[in-house]
Amino acid sequence: MTWGDHSYATHLGLVPLDIHRHPHSHTHRRCDGCRCLWVDWLLLKLDRSRADRRKNFGHEMVNLHFAFNALRSQGRDPMRAKKQELKSCFVSAKKFGVWAPDDQVFNLDPDIAENLIAKYLSNVGTKLKDGHFGKAKQAAEKSKAAFTAAYAGR
């Protein structure tokens, strides 16, 4: 196994033994072997922790999507009922580096806004939940075009 496939090593919780082939080795080539292994282990743990937080956030988005759609199916106003949760979700998405709608969405026609938000939460949330961060970012960018068109057509 090489460190070109470090996702396999990360999955197993292995620490690299071949320091110079590890992707992070350029940051600490001059340190002794034990310290390098510890730094590599720490970097891998931090990477895994960030990935876990993204996945957890994806679960939260999907749960919010289900709650949002449940309100819609009951004929209630999910935009008003879930406004604070939606705002919090959008702020969190931006912190993860994923595009998210701004407060303009709450000024759109409710039917249009509800459809856009439901698709956004489902598409982006599912991809994050499944660990596909790059694809989640792409899905969010696609959503951005739909939101921008809706804002322009207001």
pLDDT at 88 over 50: yes
Q: Are residues 121 and 90 in the same domain?
A: yes
Q: Are residues 27 and 62 in the same domain?
A: no
Q: Are residues 80 and 120 in the same domain?
A: yes
Q: Are residues 56 and 69 in the same domain?
A: yes
What domain range is 56 assigned to?
51-152
Q: Are residues 10 and 41 in the same domain?
A: yes
Q: Are residues 57 and 129 in the same domain?
A: yes
Contact between 18 and 3 under an 8 Å Cβ cutoff? The reply is yes
CA 111 to chain centre: 26
**What integer pLDDT is reported at residue 42 of this predicted model?**
57
Rounded distance between C-alpha atoms, residue 79 and residue 86, angstroms: 8
**What integer pLDDT is reported at residue 20 of this predicted model?**
46
Q: Are residues 74 and 144 in the same domain?
A: yes
Please tell me the total count of domains within the chain. 2
pTM for this entry: 0.69
Q: Are residues 59 and 21 in the same domain?
A: no
Q: pLDDT, tens digit, for every residue of 99-120?
A: 999 999 999 999 999 999 999 9
Q: Are residues 92 and 107 in the same domain?
A: yes
Q: How many CB atoms lie within 10 A of CB 94?
A: 13
Q: Are residues 24 and 59 in the same domain?
A: no
Q: State mean pLDDT over 131-142.
A: 95
Q: Are residues 130 and 67 in the same domain?
A: yes
Higher pLDDT, 61 or 15: 61
Phi-psi region of 84 (alpha: psi -120 to 50; beta: other; left: phi over 0): alpha
Q: State mean pLDDT over 123-132.
A: 95
Average pLDDT, the chain: 80
